Structure 1
Amino acid sequence: MPVIPDNHFLTDYSQKLQELIFFSHPVQDNDQQIVSISQEISPVDLLVFLTMLKPKNQVSFYCENQRKQEAVVAIGAIKSLEVKNENGHGGNGDNRFIQCEHFIEENKDNIIFEDNIDSQKIPYFFSSFNFLEHSSDNYQAFPQAKIFIPHLQLVKKANNYLVIVNTYHGKNSPELNLIKQYLKQDFSQNILHYYHRFHHDQSYPSSYTLERSDYHYFTDKVNHSLKAIASDKLTKIVVAHALEIKLEENFNIIKSLTNLRDNHPDCYIFCVGNEKEEFFLGASPERLLSIQDRQLVTDALAGSAPRGKSDYDDSLLGENLLNSEKEKREHQFVSDYIFEQLSVMGLNPKRASLQLLKLSNIQHLWTPIYAEIIGECNPLEIVARLHPTPAVAGIPIDVACAEIENYENFDRSLYAAPIGWLDTNGNCEFIVGIRSALIQGNRARLYAGAGIVAGSKPEQELTEIELKFQALLQALV
């Protein structure tokens, strides 16, 4: 059995669970069935759960939406698929999504549920996709696509908390019975003990060094894009920018996520981690796709303005946004594209009225779009149709993606790309990885973008991305 890395925060309880779940698996073959066991527990902070039970060098996934009272944590990969560089620019022919569809089909009937709960509606497949289907970067923290079934997960819905362990141990094996015993212990009390030890024994760095900003490069890209729009090469393009910062010591991922959660209660707080302890995290306001009981919801989110310092100023800024021809035109591109893609798939979508989505430091034009799924429809097929939307790429999509690839001097990685989970019964939740950062030890690359259309002004677009960077600069520690 491999030795668990030394961690003075680990209790005997959490260390034993780590040994049983992650480091004591029997040799298995591709056809061996996964045994899934679950246990309801008392309410617990999912970030403390993640800190307590994630060993080093294990993949992880965290996503929480406080407004919906839903959250999920997944740790370790009992089975996974990685898709390396491909050719193309998303859309219907994006082979990454097809390969991940096949992974789900091959494995969804290979899980044995050892309980009486509605196991078919528990997220079992966790996935992330890079913005482009291929990359020219020499090093990538995350592959073009990854999907995995976790060793361990925690699912929160309202006040219900469910711990799930997926294992290759046989149904009557001593190891499986021992895992069940540990899960039936007072799980929350064990985590509460750990929580107090953790929060009284941490120190956090407070200042950072700006490694690279290159804001002049951003305004140059905006001017280049405006020329392409004036020549009718493009109607819209999203120009992204990367801000690179450095600390004297490593970033504290859990504390940074806690800050994001406290600062942005209306956003999806998310974090994807790889085996090298590199993390992609953020606070995204944008849902790409949600399907629950065959009811589909997606967001058209484009057009931005700051929040006001007073109620009057805030209302005035919101009204100006709702009446801005330039911002409404940018938003309409996104809304029409999503509507058309769903219509092509025969989903008969319906649009809600245009409204404001007010977040802590920014407000957006927002149109929720709904549809009912009738017949067979794989969620990843819809994700492939929708990604990338004009909200994160441009119009026409292929031309905009080619411009992004040619003129951005950094790899977008998971920025503005689909991140989410699926269950074994057609339900899913995918967000768009915006307002985000890639953390590698003591270095961070922060991402932000602005939609450029005819009438855009470089200095105003620069102000917009600086505002978006603030959400992360105020949270990362």
Structure 2
Amino acid sequence: MIEVSETSLQSMLEKAVNEAKINHTSPLMSMTKEIKKIDPILFFEAAKKSAMDRTFWSSTADNFTVVGVGSAYDLIAETNRIEQTEAVWKKLLDEAIIHNPYETPGTGILALGGMSFDPTKQKSVLWKNFPHLAFTIPKFMLTEWEDACYLTMNIQVGKDDHPLQLADKLKRTEDMLLNTSGYLPEEPDIDKTEEVAPTEWKRTVKYATDFIKEHSADKIVLARERLVRLTDEAVVSTTLNKLTDTQPNSYVFAFERAGDCFVGASPERLVKQDKNDVLSTCLAGTAPRGKTKAEDARIGTSLLHDEKNRREHDFVVKMIRQSMENFCSSIDVPEEPVIYPLKNLQHLYTPVNATLKEGYSIFDIIGELHPTPALGGVPRNKSLAFIREHERVDRGWYGAPVGWLDSNRNGEFAVAIRSGLIQGNQASLFAGCGIVKDSEPEAEYEETNIKFMPMLSVLGG
């Protein structure tokens, strides 16, 4: 990684072209500057004019948002995905030429993306535009953190490129992106919704409880799908705006690929990295919110003392702690969970703080943690085998890690729940729940209905 002090875009590009000629490489050139405040969602909407794919990530509790436009480089892997991606990422950073005088997380070279829940499962046509793993280093990137705003331009440069022409083209696109309209289009209404084989799903729940009672597993997470048809093409920027307004304490995300867009608002952090400090989250055990403060408190207290939900939560806590021990030291886990409130739901929550050991990265932790018991089951191999054989839905990226990492050893990944895949005027929504030996199919079905609500409500339902 070459850190440079030049502030002229053209001089940066000249240096990158010279590096390409001398070293016979195609380095990434990255330049970050602070700009006046701009609404990230309006920036996302303005990027639609560019005809480039867009990415969006927001941690609503941290006042942190990243919007990516286009691709300077795509990291894509179908097999050995974690190891292969980390090797390519390291090589890119070693050769990169970076001007970034800020310590702000989410600036400089940053990759946003995710992966499929199960890379051994053949993709259906629904997820044809989403590889088993795909991370994008955006060509243009807006980062909002607390009260500051930054614009980063990334471009891969070759030995035959012309710095002046590249600089002129980048500047024209920058001007277009920063020229926001000041308003968002109206979201269309829902025309109709359709549940995918609900009776069959309930039968699968019953079969899973029988399977568990035979001591073949402790917990199996089953997901199902709900189809939504809109009166017109979905407006992703408006959907994101509604999600950020209505889903506090969540990670709001959108990953656009060839016109399809995977969108959601997940409350479940998988892992966060700040240099050597890492934080994971155990979020398992679910109940609805009450209509009054008193009812809400009663439901929360009941959730804290509910045997099924506590057992489900303890599965996740134990697994995350054991996984972190392989790569971390100074692991701190509270003895009891607390309630984590969201708009429609409340969950049992336990944070896990640790220090990353030398030689390990956020990729190591992701590879070890996924899938957590909250999305796969316990034991992992038996529950995944059951899901592969009996679950009708193709989860795609649902339930898998999505997030970002940057060139300054910062990053954050969430588990992609409360989400859906938007394709034109249609959306496939996904929800799941953990099945244990005393699960009742009808009760689990109603729990998934609650979990559909965050996406249904912002799509006009």
TM exceeding 0.5: yes
Provide the residue aligned with 1:17 in structure 2: none
Cα offset, 1:132, TM superposition: 0.2
Provide the residue aligned with 2:111 in structure 1: 125
Distance 1:164 1:312 in 2: 48
1:55-454 equivalences in 2 (<5 Å): 55=49, 58-84=52-78, 86=79, 95-118=80-103, 122=107, 124-139=110-125, 140-168=128-156, 173-175=163-165, 177-178=167-168, 190-191=179-180, 194-196=181-183, 199=184, 202-274=185-257, 276-352=258-334, 353-454=336-437
Identity among equivalent positions (%) equals: 29
Distance 1:151 1:186 in 2: 14
Of 402-411 and 412-421, more deviation after overlay is shown by 402-411
Paired residue secondary structure (2:37): coil
Provide the residue aligned with 1:43 in structure 2: 37
Distance 1:448 1:316 in 2: 25
Q: 1:121/1:317 Cα in 2 relative to 1: closer, same or farther (>3 Å)?
A: closer
Distance 1:452 1:56 in 2: 45
Distance 2:210 2:399 in 1: 24
Of 325-334 and 350-359, more deviation after overlay is shown by 350-359
Paired residue secondary structure (1:439): strand
Question: Residues 310-351 of structure 1, C-alpha deviation per residue, up to 9 Å, x if partnerless?
Answer: 010000000000011111011000000000111133434211
Paired residue secondary structure (1:409): coil
Instruction: Give me the TM-score of the superposition, normalised by structure 1.
Output: 0.86
For 2:209, give the aligned amino acid. Answer: L
For 1:351, give the aligned amino acid. Answer: V
Of 248-257 and 386-395, more deviation after overlay is shown by 248-257
Distance 1:390 1:45 in 2: 37
Q: 1:180/1:469 Cα in 2 relative to 1: closer, same or farther (>3 Å)?
A: closer
For 1:167, give the aligned amino acid. Answer: I
Aligned CA-pair RMSD: 2.5
Q: 1:164/1:324 Cα in 2 relative to 1: closer, same or farther (>3 Å)?
A: same
Distance 1:318 1:58 in 2: 44
Of 340-349 and 216-225, more deviation after overlay is shown by 340-349
Provide the residue aligned with 1:3 in structure 2: none
Task: Determine if contact 2:260/2:421 at 8 Å carries over to the other structure.
Answer: yes
Of 452-461 and 330-339, more deviation after overlay is shown by 452-461
Paired residue secondary structure (2:136): strand
Task: Determine if contact 2:114/2:401 at 8 Å carries over to the other structure.
Answer: yes
- Give aligned pairs, total: 435
Query: Which 5+ residue runs of structure 2 have no aligned equivalent?
Result: 1-12
Paired residue secondary structure (1:349): strand
Query: Which 5+ residue runs of structure 1 have no aligned equivalent?
Result: 1-20, 87-94
Q: 1:148/1:362 Cα in 2 relative to 1: closer, same or farther (>3 Å)?
A: same
